[in-house]
Every structure is written in C-alpha cells, then in structure tokens.
Amino acid sequence: MATAAVDREVVLETRVLKKQFGGILAVRDVDLAIPRGDLRAIIGPNGAGKTTLFNLITGDIRHDSGVIRFCGEEISALPPDQVCRRGLGRTFQITSVFRRLTVLENVQTAILVHRRRHYNLFARAGRLYRDAALALLERVGLAGQAPKPSGILSHGDQRRLELAIALASEPRLLMLDEPTAGMAPRERHALMALVAKIAADTGLTVLFTEHDMDVVFAVARRITVMHQGAVIAEGAPRDIRLDPEVQRIYLGYTKAD
Amino acid sequence: MDLITSLFPWITNGPLIAVQVMSGLSVGMFLFLVSVGMSLIFGVTRIVNLAHGSFYMVSAYLMVTLVEWLPEGATGFWISLVLAPIGVAILGGVIEVTLLRRIYHRDPMMQLILTFGLILIIGTLVLLVWGPDNKSVSRPDALAGSVRIFGQPFPSYYLLVLGLAPVVAVGLWLVFYRTRWGMLVRAATVDREMLGALGVDVSTLYTEVFVFGSWLAGLGGALAAPTVAVALGMDADVLINAFVVVVIGGLGSFAGTLISALLVGELQSFGILIFPAVSIVLLFAIMAVVLIVRPWGLLGRPEE
Amino acid sequence: MTRATATWAIGFVVALALPLVLSTFFIVLLIEIAVVALFATAFNLLMGFGGMVSFGHAAYFALGAYAASLLAQKAGWPMLAALAAAPVVAAFGALIFGFFIVRLTHTYFAMLSLAFGQIVYTIIFKWTSLTGGDNGLLNVWPPAFLRSHTAYYYFTLLVIGACFLALYAVVTSPFGYALKAIRENPRRARFIGVNVRRHQLYAFVLSGFFSGVAGGIFAFHNGSVFPDFAFFAKSFEPLVVVLLGGVQSFYGPLAGAFGFKLLEWVISKWAPIYWPLFLGAIVIAVILVLPQGFVGLLERRTWRPRPSIGK
C-alpha cells in the first residue's frame, strides 16, 4: 500500500481510531491522513463503518480510543459545533437543510453563525450577508431559487444547498457523506465536478464517501477502502482499481476494466 | 451525634422508624398502582397519558357514589372496590377508541396536548356530576381503627393496602410474564412494527393495554378513597406524583416503577418528618437529576 | 413604509382611540387580551419559533406577578420599579429551570417543564408566610395616577406594545434566525457552529422574561395574585391561544388572544362552569381536525416569492 506523500501539510489525521457499539466493532484501528488539497474518497460496502467514521470525526459520537487531529490540533473530544468552528464542514447522508427557511435564509443563517453574530438580538437578520450568501448560491447554481422555501426544492437542489451551507462556514476540510445519494448519474457527476472545481479554486480539502464507482474514479485523487470497520487499502485510484483485495470485496461494484 | 439527635429526635426511635417505613410502603403501593398503569400505557403506545390522574380521581368519586348506593357495611364497600375501577376502565376504553386511536401516528406533542385537554374535560365533568364539595368514603368497620405495630399506632386500613399490593404486584408479574397476552404486551414495548408484521392486531392490543392501565389507575383511586379527601385537584396531585415515580423508575419498566414508587413513598413518609415543605421540592429535584443524568429512568430503556 | 408597518400604525391609533368609545367593561377586557397576547407570544417564541413546547409556562407568568406584588406590597417599592423587577425574577426562574429542561427533548422536555411548573405552584402555595398561600396577595394596586381603567389601559398599551416590538426584533434578529434553524434541524444547526443547548436556554430565558412582564402587568390590573396563576391548567392557556391563532406566525398569538378572551367572555356569561371543559374540547377538536399535526401546523403557509429579494 502506498502511503500518502507527507510533504504536504496533513489536514486531518486519525490514529488507531476505534468505536464499538455493543458487540460490534464499527471502526477498528483506523489510521487516516488527509493531506491538504486532497480529494479523498472513502469507499466500502454498507456497514463498512464510513458514516460512523465521519460521525466520530465530527464529534457526533464519542470514540472509544485513538486520536483525531485536525490541522495539528486534537479534536477527539470536541462537540460538533466546536469541530465546525475549527474549520470542518460537513454534509449529511440524509439531506439536512432548514426546510421552512428560504434558500437565501439558509445560507445567511450559516454565514451569520459562522461570523458569531447569532447572539445578536437587534440587527435585521434578513439584511445581513445577502451578497455573500447570494455569491455562495451562485457558486452552487442556486441563485435563482433564493427566495423559495428550501423544503420545496428538488432533491438535487437541496443537496447543492447543503453544500452551500457547509461552504458558508469557510471550512478547510469539507466532509461530504454520500453527497450524491438519490441522484441520477448525470446529476452525480455534475455535483462532484462542482465540488472538485470549488476545491481547486479555493484550495479546499475534500473527504467524501460514495457508492458510485464511476464518480469516485472520475473525481478522487486518492481512495481509502474500508471493510468491516478497518481500512484495507489506500492509494491512487489506478492502484485501488487493480488491487485484488478490493476487487474481491467489490466484485460486482466496479466496472470491469 | 448530639446535633443529629436534636434535629431528628426520632432517629433513635426504632419502632417509630419501623412504622414510618411501613407507612411509606403503603404510600408507595398507591403510587405504584397508579404509576404502573401510566408506565404500561407509555411502554406500549408511547403516549404519556396525562389524564391518568383524572382516571384515579374519577374512580375515587365513583367509590363515593357506589358506597352510598350500595347497602351499608363491608359487603357494599368491597363491591364498590371492585366496580369503581371497572367503571374507569370502561371510560378509558371509550377514550382510547374515540380519541387516541386517531393520533397514534401523530407528533408526540399533539398527543400530550390532547391528553392534557382531557384533564380539563374530565375535571369539569366530575365537578358537574358530584359538585364542588369534598367527599369522603368511610372505611369498613373492620379496618376503621388502628393496630399497634412495635407499640406504635398504625391505621388498619393501610394493612389492607400492604396486603393487597403485593398480591397485585405478583398478579401483574404473572400477567406479563406468564400469559400470552402479557408476552404480546412486552413484545409491543420493544418493537411494535414487528409485532404488527407478525399478524398481531396491534390496534386492539393498544385498546386492551389502555383499558388495563386505566383499570390500574382506578384501582389505586378506589383504594385511596377512604384515606384522602376526595376532592377536585386530586387529579393534579396524583398526576405529578405518578409522573415523578415513572420518570425516576423508567417509563415502560415494571420493576423500575415498583422500586421508584416505593422509594418515593418512603421519601414522602420520612420527608414529612424531616421538613414537610422541602420534601416535595426534594422529590422534584431528584426527578430533575434523573432526567438529566439518565433520562430514561433507572431501569428504563433509551428512546430512539 | 411597508404595508405591515402601516397596518400597525393604524391599529395603534385605533387602539389609542378605543377608550373614548368603549365602556369600562371592554377596556378591562382589552387589557386582559393584551396580557394574554403577550404571554402567548412569549410562549410562542419557544413553541412556534424554537420548536419547544413548554407545559409549565404559567410558572414564569406567576413569578412575574408575585415578584411585582411582593416588591410593591412587602418591600414598599414603587409600582414601576416592582414592575421592572418582575420580569427579571421570572427570567431568573427560567434560567434555573431552563438549564435543566433544554437538555431534554420533546416528551421529556414537556414533562420536566410541567413538573417545574408545579414546583413553583407548590412553593407559592406552601410558603404562606411570604406569599399568603392559598389566600394570595390582595390590594396590589397601581399608584393613583394609574388607578382608573382607562389610564391603566394606556399604560398597558405602552408597556405591552414595547414588549411586542422587542419580541418582533428578537424573532427577526440573527438570534431568531439561528433559533428557527435549530427548530428546523438541530443537527444541521449544530454543524454550522450553533451551540444548540445554550441557544435554546437563552430563548427560554427571553420567553420567561416576557411572560414575567405579562404577569406583572396583570398583577396590578387584577389587584391580587393567587397561587393558581402557576397551576398547570393555567399553562394550558397560552397553548390554546397559540393553537387557535396560528403557531407559525408572529401575530398568531395576538389574534388567538382576541378569540380566546372573547370565547371566555361568552362562555362565562352563559355557564362559567363549562369553561375548562370548553377549553379542553377546543384543543382536542383543533388537534383532531389538523391532520398534518404539529409540523403541518407550521407548514400551512402557502409559498409566495417575496418580491424584494434579488440582485
């Protein structure tokens, strides 16, 4: 297994990360090192522990042992809102937007929370950060939908909105949990191409889980493969595609090459 | 040591303590009867029946009326004791079928608000039927006096409760762990959907559980009638007490409710000796702590 | 000036003119409507905007009422000072109770809030030496210049009007936006950096504060305060008002307050004994008739693009 080129700064790092639920070892001894600017895909069958890993990193659940470091700082014990403030952005497996708020308000709220103005009782929130919010919406292609309640958007558009919300926190690392779930293939490629472009433009590091191998191989710079809670392979897409272990597990998942 | 004995002069008084413990047990058993019904209903239907105290109250008032109608004496009393809970059980059944059935799939808040509304309706109906004055039920002659336990006086009627309660508790245990129905009920508290998928008529089961729970509340009310002033406002007192018991013990847990009820009973019994006003605040404080540290109660199961 | 502002200006002018045409009875009714409207709006800050249903909110109303009364009567404070202190006491109570309550959700939140409400009731009821227990506190009157109903009406209009403005500011402020975000999706709110618990606690305290204002105003209007201001059945009232008027909008509780008080007046004339029954029946009817439930209640608004947004 080729190891990551560590001449670039490591943004996210986990060591010997472990989480047990009852009798099941959901995440076992996971070592992960994401360098800056990486576009890392984490793949694995359902139940491999990908979402658990995400939740451990973001502080939604407590780890049993191991260390999680973000930009050198240990974040293992921090609650989610603190993790976000350190520079981690996240989208969720099930689309999570603020349904009854408008598209614009969704992003405005995210921005004003990021700027720590959410304890302000006196400003007219509707007027704050409109330009910044619209710019973000423009970036994800939703500017035209700004006044609509986000709940009525199509699934794909809600995903884009969630991306905009995550970006509003100006993260250094963006974690996308199955960002393309429920989308048609063309939509999937479009969304991930958008993500890749944003990452390239802003130097953002991206970590995402994905089931569609076409998308993974098209977008990812490096791939980490998980199975039953452990990392079983890691490397460039080309190498992963040829890895016999991975092929054995994914028989039927990959496109025959 | 002297400080303690001067603050709590009864602390070296063994017999007095023993009697207080027994008294606390009786109070605990009343609470258990009411609370276990509430806990049971929540465990199966996931509805907290705020009108539970109202059922208790209705049963107490029914006791008043039944005892008046039926011939004087012990037989009349015992028959009333049997009939009153049945009356409340019927009331519970009617409510379940006409109202609760429509809201099982709804937001828990709506369900709570609805049962909250029932408190007002039932309360007013009681007022309309029985009037605003306090009522009372006399104890049957055989149990009207007191006996001496360790030399201390102890109301005989409480002996009835102390005697009946274990019977009821054992009876409940038998029902839940030794009958098919009880097994279905326990299964329903764990996984309702699965039960339905297995072909069990969950809807009827819900009604049966609600009726049974109401009957238990009614039993508590009927038993309690000779010991308290039967008055409006009983529903609130009992509701809050049952609440505290059920939350501490764990919503949906039989054993938890039992332990918690006895604990609360003892606390109230001794609390009155220590510092009457504080005891109730202490009770709430304990409940608050439990809700924070272990929201599903001592023996309850974490909610999803 | 937007249409909304214009409507409010007209409404305010009308409200100022009303005592000239209405009898004392109706002026008194209006004062009570204003009190109920403020209490319900404060309650709705939590329910409609925060997604938290409190079942023991009467406690904060009562704390405000008793604080105002006790300070005026036993400590000899001037009425205005007592009235200013009342919401602070209520907010303090909300801070203490809220600290525990916001750690829970839904059913347990409701239950704990109910229990805390009863604690307040019990303390007021039992602490006879301070609160007069069941007999309550009597002869809590405003100073001479506010003793006429008309004068108190204008005073109420001023104070409660200011509170409404403040609550509106809260709801449209960044704080309000974050609160709504929490209501919509706590997990998402957490992951844009909101400390959900702390935010909810602050909302709880604000709600308690304004409930206390309502209580204080009512104390001096009523001339007396009683323990059952804190009884859990009284906690039902803001709930009914909000359900009647509309959970989703800021003005819903105000409309609901009118409807509620008018209904109460009618029923009291006809058969006052039936009022609680009627209350319970209304709420049950409202619940059964709204199939979408709590969430649906909030989703009823028809979507209309607002014209002012855009580049």
Tally of domains within chain C:
1
Question: What residue spans define the domains of chain B?
Answer: 18-232
Q: Is residue C272 part of a domain?
A: no
Per-residue pLDDT tens over the stretch C196-210: 999 999 999 999 999
From residue A123, give the alpha-carbon distance in Å to each of C9, C166, C182, C206, C311.
Answer: 22, 12, 19, 17, 21
- Cβ-contact B261, B32 below 8 angstroms: yes
User: Once rounded to an integer, what is the mean pLDDT over residues A84-113?
Assistant: 92
User: Any idea what the Cα angle at residue A22 is, between residues A16 and A27, rounded to 5°?
Assistant: 25
Per-residue pLDDT tens over the stretch A171-230: 999 999 999 888 888 888 999 999 999 999 988 999 999 888 888 888 999 999 988 888
- Check if C260 contacts B (Cβ < 8 Å): no
Q: Is residue C159 part of a domain?
A: yes
- Distance, in Å, from the CA atom of C108 to the CA atom of C104, rounded to the nearest integer, reads 6
pLDDT for residue B135 is more than 50: yes
User: What's the confidence (pLDDT) of residue A257?
Assistant: 45
Q: Is residue C222 part of a domain?
A: yes
Which helix (H) or strand (E) segment is A178 a member of?
none
Q: Is residue C171 part of a domain?
A: yes
Sign for the CA dihedral angle at C116, C118, C121, C127 comes to negative
pLDDT for residue B55 is more than 90: yes
Q: Greater confidence, B48 or C44?
A: C44
CB contact under 8 A, B113 and C53: yes
User: What's the confidence (pLDDT) of residue B285?
Assistant: 77
pLDDT for residue C77 is more than 60: yes
ipTM: 0.87
- Distance, in Å, from the CA atom of B50 to the CA atom of C118, rounded to the nearest integer, reads 14
pLDDT confidence band for B275 (50 / 70 / 90): low
Per-residue pLDDT tens over the stretch A30-70: 888 888 888 999 988 887 788 888 888 888 888 888 888 88
Q: Greater confidence, A249 or B304?
A: A249
CB contact under 8 A, A81 and C190: yes
User: What's the confidence (pLDDT) of residue B172?
Assistant: 87
Highest mean pLDDT among A25-39, B173-187, C29-43, C131-145: C29-43
Domain hosting residue C81, numbered range: 21-232
**Is residue B135 classed as helix, strand or coil in its secondary structure?**
strand
User: What's the confidence (pLDDT) of residue A247?
Assistant: 80
Q: Is residue C45 part of a domain?
A: yes
What string of DSSP letters covers B94-109? HHHHHTGGGGTTS-HH
3-state helix, strand, coil in chain C (%, to 5): 75, 0, 25
- Cβ-contact A152, C303 below 8 angstroms: yes
Percent of chain A with pLDDT over 70: 94
The 10 Å Cβ neighbour count of residue B284 is: 18
User: What's the confidence (pLDDT) of residue C156?
Assistant: 92
Nearest one of A94, A79, A86 to C185, comparing CA atoms: A94
Strands A39-43 and A222-227: parallel
Which of A14-28, A224-238, B100-114 comes out lowest in average pLDDT? A14-28
User: What's the confidence (pLDDT) of residue C308?
Assistant: 36
Q: Is residue C264 part of a domain?
A: no
User: What's the confidence (pLDDT) of residue B246?
Assistant: 84
Domains in chain A with CATH codes: 10-96+173-249 (3.40.50.300), 98-152 (no CATH)
pLDDT for residue C303 is more than 50: no
Please list every residue in chain C whose beta carbon sits closer than 8 Å to the beta carbon of residue A98: 180-181, 184-185, 188-189
Query: What 8-state DSSP symbol labels residue B191?
Result: -
Per-residue pLDDT tens over the stretch B214-263: 999 999 899 888 888 888 888 888 888 888 888 888 777 788 888 888 88
- Distance, in Å, from the CA atom of B234 to the CA atom of B270, rounded to the nearest integer, reads 22
User: What's the confidence (pLDDT) of residue B277?
Assistant: 61
- Check if A120 contacts C (Cβ < 8 Å): yes
Percent of chain B with pLDDT over 70: 90
- Check if C194 contacts A (Cβ < 8 Å): yes
Q: Greater confidence, B67 or B281?
A: B67
User: What's the confidence (pLDDT) of residue A195?
Assistant: 93
- Distance, in Å, from the CA atom of B116 to the CA atom of B94, rounded to the nearest integer, reads 17
- Check if C239 contacts B (Cβ < 8 Å): yes
Nearest chain C residue to B239 by CA distance is C115
pLDDT for residue A2 is more than 50: no
User: What's the confidence (pLDDT) of residue B46?
Assistant: 81
Q: Is residue C280 part of a domain?
A: no
From residue B157, give the alpha-carbon distance in Å to each of B26, B141, B262, B271, C33.
Answer: 10, 10, 18, 22, 51
- Distance, in Å, from the CA atom of B153 to the CA atom of B16, rounded to the nearest integer, reads 9
Per-residue pLDDT tens over the stretch C103-155: 877 777 888 888 888 888 888 888 888 888 888 888 888 888 888 888 899 99
Min distance A62 CA to chain C CA atoms (Å) = 16
Strand ranges across the sheet with A39-43: A88-91, A173-176, A205-209, A39-43, A222-227, A230-235
- Check if B147 contacts C (Cβ < 8 Å): no
Q: Which chains touch C (3 or more CB pairs under 8 A)?
A: A, B
Sign for the CA dihedral angle at A177, A179, A181, A185 comes to negative
Looking up tokens 């403030």 gives A85
